[in-house]
Structure 1
Amino acid sequence: MQDFPAGIGDLIGANAALIFIAVLILLAVGSAVRIVPQSQKFVVERFGRLRAVLGPGINIIMPFLDRVAHRISILERQLPTSRQDAITADNVLVQVETSVFYRIIEPEKTVYRIRDIDAAIATTVAGIVRSEIGTMELDQVQSNRASLIERIRDSLANVVDDWGIEVTRAEILDVNLDDATRAAMLQQLNAERARRAQVTEAEGKRRAVELAADGELYAAEQHAKAKRVLADAEAYATAAIAEAIARNGLEAAQYQVALKQVEALSDMARGEGRQTIVLPAGAVEAFGEAFRLLKGRA
């Protein structure tokens, strides 16, 4: 075996030491520097105990003493759609489909306080849904779904706060009924539609009667107005005649009466059977009176 000179051996030993130190430094730097992605948080432990939670970016930890125990995604997650049975306040069995969205905001609570976070949230949601629906009737569940979702989300948020979780959204996708209940509701709906149709028809007939009565009342009012106008006209004519009599005297009135009698006898003479004229008693006096009045006016 060939022996190296003492100087060469010392040089090789020094280089090996330098290489070892360089490797050690690289390992230390590699274990000390942690680059955390934007969508994650790292949970760091030291000797099995929580040391720190690293946020996104470059982080420095103690090499060989600290280690990244958990890499937690902080992206929003969606639980698989779950179905649970519930009984309403009016004893109707329904099957509710729910979906929950959440994200982890405090990983140190999530990794040390709960083992299966998805299963825990699903179980909690099922219990809250049964509890909330049990206080409502079926019609309220169908019509106040937004209010029900809000109550479920608030109740769920209070429960999962200890797990470092934020519930971002909770949805009720559907409320299903069994066949018997659905058939009964359909029958009730048809009956309600028939009742509304009858009410609408009755209201239409009543409105038609009201309109007919209003028309008759309007016609009666217009007829009464016409009679009142005629009466006013006759009263005005009578007043005019009375005023003329008062102004021209009684002779003017007698003159007009005599003229009317003469005109009446003339009409009778022009009619059929004009060869024979029947004169009423006093006709001669009427003629004489008329001639006398005519002569006097001339």
Structure 2
Amino acid sequence: MPVEDTLGQFIGQNIVLVFIAAFIILCIFLGVRIVPQSEKFVVERFGRLRAVLGPGINFIVPFLDRVRHRISILERQLPTAKQDAITADNVLVQVDTSVFYRIIEPEKTVYRIRDVDAAIATTVAGIVRSEIGAMELDDVQSNRNQLTTRIKQSVEAVVDDWGIEVTRAELLDVNLDQQTRNAMLQQLNAERARRAQVTEAEGTKRAVELNADAELYAAEQGAKARRVQADAEAYATSVVAQAIKENGIEAAQYQVALKQVEALVAVGKGAGKQTILLPTNVLDAFGDAFKLLKGRS
């Protein structure tokens, strides 16, 4: 065989081998998919959903399967939305809402909804208006945590068909127009004035009650003192009566005579009273006292 034919046959065989090797490399390149941890791949075959590839190394059929969508499964935040709502007591409020979500079933998100962010924002706006419309303004401001929980639960029930998980739905702020603020300020000032009057009235009432209690206590103590004094006088009378009963009438006369003598002595000690005029019965009292003293000695 000529050298030229042998060389041509060798080159032709090598070209075929090169094509086969390139085809195998291309098949490996097209059939192996490495999915990052933060993503999921949606694979289609002839335009239909074939599989959802999770993080790691995955294999697909080259030339038949194609990765159509690469979906991030990281948590996302919608821009803070401002919207108007009317409460049950016809007060116009402007609320700020913020929603956090993540995609957990990409096949639903891809084939059931076109604009996920816009759909969630519209859903949240409708639910917020509905929930606030069923509450009065005072309840909206005082039960904000409860309202936030109800909004989150309602949003979760709606977006479940889209393969989305709402991680947080927060009611950031509730703003009022200036006219409503002025009216609430007037109401607040009136309430403060009313509370001040009530506090003052309660203080006056308490002072009167304490004063009455003090007077009652003083009266009770005075009555107790008079009762003790009366008991003491009664006791002294009973002692005198007992002494008279035991010693006779002479003991009583003796005590009376002594008191008369003591009184005269006190009068005689006064200045400028050297001469004292005594009635005759006083002398008789002296005599009786001396007789009694003599008799007792």
Query: Fold match, TM over 0.5?
Result: yes
Structure 1 consecutive aligned stretches of length 4 or more whose deviation exceeds 6 Å: none
Structure 2 partner of 1:25: 24
Task: Work out whether 1:131 is the aligned partner of 2:108.
Answer: no
Structure 1 partner of 2:114: 115
Q: Which amino acid counterpart does residue 238 of structure 2 have in structure 1?
A: A
Structure 2 partner of 1:73: 72
Structure 1 partner of 2:294: 295
- Give the Cα separation in 2 of the matches to 1:110 and 1:295: 134
TM-superposed CA distance for 1:246, in Å, is 1.9
The more displaced of 102-111 and 284-293 is 284-293
TM-superposed CA distance for 1:218, in Å, is 1.9
Describe the shift of the 1:282–1:41 C-alpha distance in structure 2 as closer, same or farther (beyond 3 A).
same
CA RMSD in angstroms comes to 1.4
SS of 2:223 mapped into structure 1: helix
Structure 1 partner of 2:55: 56
- Give the Cα separation in 1 of the matches to 2:3 and 2:230: 156
SS of 2:63 mapped into structure 1: coil
Describe the shift of the 1:201–1:4 C-alpha distance in structure 2 as closer, same or farther (beyond 3 A).
farther
- Give the Cα separation in 1 of the matches to 2:203 and 2:46: 86
- Give the Cα separation in 2 of the matches to 1:294 and 1:178: 109
Structure 1 partner of 2:159: 160
TM-superposed CA distance for 1:272, in Å, is 4.3
Structure 1 partner of 2:267: 268
SS of 2:191 mapped into structure 1: helix
Counterparts in 2 of 1:277-292, with a 5 A limit? 277-292=276-291
Structure 1 partner of 2:171: 172
- After superposition, what is the alpha-carbon deviation per residue over 1:28-68, rounded to whole angstroms, capped at 9, x for unaligned? 00111101011100000000000000000100111110010
TM-score by length of 1: 0.95
Task: Work out whether 1:255 is the aligned partner of 2:254.
Answer: yes
Structure 2 partner of 1:91: 90
Aligned residue pairs, count: 296
SS of 2:118 mapped into structure 1: helix
Q: Which amino acid counterpart does residue 246 of structure 1 have in structure 2?
A: K
Q: Which amino acid counterpart does residue 53 of structure 2 have in structure 1?
A: L
TM-superposed CA distance for 1:232, in Å, is 1.8
Task: Work out whether 1:221 is the aligned partner of 2:220.
Answer: yes
- Give the Cα separation in 2 of the matches to 1:226 and 1:102: 83
- After superposition, what is the alpha-carbon deviation per residue over 1:121-172, rounded to whole angstroms, capped at 9, x for unaligned? 0011111111111111111110111111111111111110110001110001
SS of 1:235 mapped into structure 2: helix
- Give the Cα separation in 2 of the matches to 1:247 and 1:4: 176
Structure 1 partner of 2:143: 144
For structure 1, the 5+ residue unaligned runs are none
- Give the Cα separation in 2 of the matches to 1:123 and 1:147: 21
- After superposition, what is the alpha-carbon deviation per residue over 1:57-80, rounded to whole angstroms, capped at 9, x for unaligned? 100111110010000000000000
TM-superposed CA distance for 1:273, in Å, is 4.7
- Give the Cα separation in 2 of the matches to 1:37 and 1:84: 38
Q: Which amino acid counterpart does residue 159 of structure 1 have in structure 2?
A: V
Structure 1 partner of 2:190: 191
TM-superposed CA distance for 1:5, in Å, is 1.6
SS of 1:69 mapped into structure 2: strand
TM-superposed CA distance for 1:239, in Å, is 1.8
TM-superposed CA distance for 1:191, in Å, is 1.0
- Give the Cα separation in 1 of the matches to 2:227 and 2:279: 38
TM-superposed CA distance for 1:4, in Å, is 5.9
- Give the Cα separation in 2 of the matches to 1:43 and 1:121: 22
Task: Work out whether 1:34 is the aligned partner of 2:33.
Answer: yes
TM-superposed CA distance for 1:269, in Å, is 2.5
Q: Which amino acid counterpart does residue 127 of structure 1 have in structure 2?
A: G
For structure 2, the 5+ residue unaligned runs are none
